[in-house]
Amino acid sequence: MIRAFIIISFLFLCGCSTFKKDVVECPKLIAPKKAAEIVVNSESNSPVYLGFRGVQKFCFKDGGDDIEMELSINVRAIRNDTTKEDYVPVFISVVSVDLNEKEFDRDEFKYSQFLLKGSKIVDRATTFDLKVPAGGQVFLGVR
């Protein structure tokens, strides 16, 4: 009985190694200046600066030649008028391209960022997943 338990446990633990991800170096990530920082109007028509303030990335092989990329992108909103609560529309795009700069994969997220009364600076981290071809690169933009 104990021997059967040990054998089953051993087989189970050996099978867990198949879930290990093959971590690789992440492809080049580019955020063009005009797409990395913008000024938009909030719902109350006040100007709000939006910009990227940090990106964390994790990359691993997907079983083929492509790379799976997981991104955590911090978007910062800065405003001058902090006398009232407000919302600012945010649209983030992450696009991977191949060697010929042809679009390969895209992940987008649109939301309305809440700006608390009295808060001049508000940060929010958002996660994205996309596939990148071998030798490809990734573009990042906010609007």
Looking at residue 7, its pLDDT comes to: 56
Domain count, the chain: 1
* pTM, entire model: 0.78
Question: What is the full DSSP assignment across the chain?
Answer: -HHHHHHHHHHHHHHGGGG---B-PPPEEE--HHHHEEEEE-TTS-EEEEEEEEEEEEEEE-SSS-EEEEEEEEEEEEES--SS-EEEEEEEEEEEE-TT--EEEEEEEEEEEEE-TT-SEEEEEEEEEEEE-TT-EEEEEE-
Which tens digits make up the pLDDT trace of 78-106? 999 999 999 999 999 999 999 999 999 99
Contact call for residues 119 and 76 (beta carbons, < 8 A): no
pLDDT at residue 19 tops 70:
no
Residue 131 within a domain: yes
Distance CA 73, CA 83 (A): 28
Looking at residue 86, its pLDDT comes to: 95
CATH number at 38 reads 2.60.40
Residue 16 within a domain: no
Residue 56 within a domain: yes
Residue 108 within a domain: yes
